[in-house]
């Protein structure tokens, strides 16, 4: 019997999962337009490689990965690029960001798909292929999947954990994926097992999904793999990577470290499935499963294209009359979308139509009574009531001392708080303020380095200039001395009186400089005297005649002398 460990805390909110699993996965119809944001994963923003008016094929690259932690973005269907510009994002900020708008042509014509034979390639080549296919973590964080593939030689991985927890209420897309496409998930898991050379593979699924557990066990047995499919107790947040790792292995990921430091790596089931599609069929990540549920007539899971506008998807499910908003993600960690026009991104797993009955308005926040409920509920073993004080007082140093960065923002503390304090909001606020300060500090360091470099460069340039001047002056003096010597030799008997005084000794830089300037001015004067207006030689008789006429008119007007005078003044 497999031993399952426990993590501290956690809550059991009502699951609301049964509504959306009655129907099989549906394929959403092509939307009227697709707005594909370029920045869909953690890391650099991909650079657009298409422009307005271009025809693109399904799966064609439209955003090129920028840097190592960044994943490519592809056209979800064939059509015409209508715009590359700033569009509202599915993000709590309600800000816009660069997106590519594609009008589908209805043909859904694929680009040439090239499967990747990962067994014959080196790890960096497979990583490159996954980055090119735009594979990111589909559990919610959207971390580029290739970035998590550590080289087995440097960092041996003992256990590969595949996360089928899906602990948030309402969401069932991973559940349906495992029920209907278990084979793909298992094959994708095998790819990661091979790449990481993991000794054992544990697939953790919450025990409120018995169908998914059975389907996965059946697929593992059929494919002859030795993966262990483990049903873990359904307690929120069992689907969080760190908590699932603890439940399955009994090991705790150290504070501020990655699971790889204790020989464990974790992928979501949907990521494994998408990886298998990319490796086996050469399909980039352009669609995902999405639960549409909540206050709707027909809750169901749909396979949707990345970039599909939310309002068109909601129409499929038939929102009820009293729907007053949409939540993207789950009720614990999701956010209200700023506008129904925003589109689905790779990280979106669920849309919940909100109604006052389903989500009563937040009760007013009351003072903390230090009951300690939040600390008992915290799955990361933190003290939310302490961090709350410091975050509220903007004492971020103290908040950091209480490990605010170990907070996984699961929302358990806010859920249990009898004073209805939105604790997670405070921790998110503290985290983003600390990050902003970190960025400011880095900017200040860069500015300081650049300023110091500039000062140093200016000093160096000054020194170099002085040196150059001195050298030129010395050369000039030497030349003068040589000339003088020659003159003296030539007219040795003659009365040589001049220029002994004017030739300065070479070791007097001031005099040398003066001499150099005098010489330069003499040369310039000679050049000026020699210079002729260049556009007045080789004139045709007609031109000459014209000039003469002009001169005559000028003489008549009496301005010739003035001009000459002013010319004299402007050398």
Partner 1 sequence: MLTAIAIMALGAILLGAMLGFASIKFKVEGDPLVEKIDSLLPQTQCGQCGYPGCRPYAEAIAKGEEINLCPPGGTEGVQKLADLLGREVKPLNAEEKPKQIAIIDENTCIGCTLCIQACPVDAIVGAAKQMHTIVAKLCTGCELCLPPCPVECISMEPVPETLQNWKWKHPVFAIKPVPPQKAA
Residues that bind partner 1 (CB under 8 A): 39, 45, 89, 91-93, 95, 97, 364-365, 394, 422, 425-426, 428-429, 431-433, 435-436, 439-440, 443-448, 450-451, 453-454
Which residues partner with 200 through β-bridges? 159
Q: Which of 177, 148, 182, 141 is nearest to 329 (CA)?
A: 141
Q: Which is nearer to partner 1, 26 or 422 (CB)?
A: 422
Helix then strand count (H, E) for the chain reads: 15, 17
Q: Which is nearer to partner 1, 367 or 558 (CB)?
A: 367
Minimum gap (Å) between residue 290 Cβ and partner 1 = 21
**Structural contact between residues 339 and 129, judged by C-beta atoms closer than 8 angstroms:** no
Minimum gap (Å) between residue 502 Cβ and partner 1 = 36
Minimum gap (Å) between residue 68 Cβ and partner 1 = 17
Residues 333-356 as b/e (b if ≥16 CB within 10 A, e otherwise) read ebeebbebebbbbbbbbbbbbbbe
Tell me how far apart the alpha carbons of residues 318 and 313 are, in angstroms, rounded to a whole number.
9
**Structural contact between residues 560 and 551, judged by C-beta atoms closer than 8 angstroms:** yes
Q: Which is nearer to partner 1, 393 or 475 (CB)?
A: 393
Tell me how far apart the alpha carbons of residues 384 and 408 are, in angstroms, rounded to a whole number.
12
Q: Which is nearer to partner 1, 283 or 409 (CB)?
A: 409
Tell me how far apart the alpha carbons of residues 540 and 314 are, in angstroms, rounded to a whole number.
83
Q: Which is nearer to partner 1, 45 or 172 (CB)?
A: 45
DSSP letter string, 530-543? H---GGGSS--HHH
Q: Which is nearer to partner 1, 42 or 262 (CB)?
A: 42
Q: Which is nearer to partner 1, 448 or 460 (CB)?
A: 448
Residue 180: C-alpha distances to residues 153, 212, 274, 301 (Å)? 36, 8, 14, 11
Tell me how far apart the alpha carbons of residues 73 and 61 are, in angstroms, rounded to a whole number.
6
Minimum gap (Å) between residue 243 Cβ and partner 1 = 23
**Structural contact between residues 134 and 74, judged by C-beta atoms closer than 8 angstroms:** yes
């Amino acid at each position: 019997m497999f031993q399952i460990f426990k993590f501290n805390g956690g809550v059991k909110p009502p699951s609301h999962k049964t509504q959306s699993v009655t129907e099989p996965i549906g394929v959403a119809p092509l939307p009227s337009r697709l707005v594909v944001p370029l920045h869909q994963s953690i890391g650099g923003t991909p650079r657009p490689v298409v422009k307005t008016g271009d025809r693109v094929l399904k799966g064609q690259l439209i955003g090129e990965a920028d840097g190592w932690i960044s994943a490519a973005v592809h056209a979800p269907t064939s059509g015409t690029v209508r715009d590359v510009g700033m569009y509202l994002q599915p993000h709590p900020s309600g800000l816009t960001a660069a997106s590519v708008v594609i009008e589908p042509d209805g043909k859904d014509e694929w680009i040439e798909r090239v499967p990747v034979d990962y067994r014959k390639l080196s790890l960096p080549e497979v990583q490159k292929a996954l980055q090119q296919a735009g594979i990111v973590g589909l559990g919610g964080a959207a971390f580029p999947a290739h970035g998590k593939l550590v080289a087995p030689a440097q960092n041996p991985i003992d256990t590969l954990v595949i996360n089928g927890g899906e602990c948030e209420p309402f969401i069932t897309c991973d559940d349906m994926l495992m029920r209907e496409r278990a084979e793909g998930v298992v094959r994708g898991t095998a790819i990661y097992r091979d790449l990481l050379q993991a000794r054992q593979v544990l697939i953790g699924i919450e025990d409120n999904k018995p169908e998914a557990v059975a389907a996965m066990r059946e697929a593992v047995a059929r494919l002859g793999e030795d993966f262990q499919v483990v049903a873990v107790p359904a307690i929120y947040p069992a689907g969080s990577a760190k908590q699932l790792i603890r439940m399955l292995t009994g090991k705790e990921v150290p504070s501020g470290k990655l699971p790889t430091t204790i020989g464990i790596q974790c992928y979501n089931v949907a990521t494994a499935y998408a990886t298998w599609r990319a490796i086996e069929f050469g399909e980039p990540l352009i669609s995902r499963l999405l639960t549409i549920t909540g206050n709707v007539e027909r809750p169901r899971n749909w396979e949707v294209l990345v970039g599909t506008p939310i309002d068109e998807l909601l129409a499929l499910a038939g929102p009820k009359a009293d729907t007053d908003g949409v939540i993207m993600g789950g009720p614990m960690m999701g956010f209200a979308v700023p506008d129904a026009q925003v589109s689905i991104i790779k990280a979106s797993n669920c849309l919940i139509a909100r109604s006052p009955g389903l989500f009563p308005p937040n009760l007013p926040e009351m003072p903390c009574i230090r009951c300690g409920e939040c600390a008992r509920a915290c799955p990361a073993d933190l003290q939310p009531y302490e961090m709350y004080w410091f975050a509220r007082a903007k004492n971020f140093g103290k908040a950091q001392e209480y490990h605010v960065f170990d907070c996984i923002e699961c929302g358990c503390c806010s859920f249990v708080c009898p004073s209805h304090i939105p604790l997670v909001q405070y921790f998110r606020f503290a985290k983003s303020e600390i990050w902003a300060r970190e960025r400011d500090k880095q900017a200040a360091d860069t500015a300081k380095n650049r300023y110091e470099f500039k000062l140093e460069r200016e000093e160096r340039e000054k020194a170099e200039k002085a040196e150059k001047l001195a050298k030129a002056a010395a050369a000039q003096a030497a030349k003068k001395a040589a000339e003088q010597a020659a003159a003296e030799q030539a007219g040795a008997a003659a009365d040589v009186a001049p220029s002994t005084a004017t030739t300065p000794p070479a070791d007097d830089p001031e005099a040398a400089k003066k001499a150099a300037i005098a010489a330069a001015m003499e040369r310039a004067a000679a050049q000026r005297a020699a210079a002729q207006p260049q556009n007045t030689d080789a004139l045709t008789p007609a031109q000459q005649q014209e000039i003469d006429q002009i001169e005559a008119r000028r003489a008549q007007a009496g301005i010739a002398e003035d001009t000459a005078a002013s010319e004299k003044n402007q050398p």
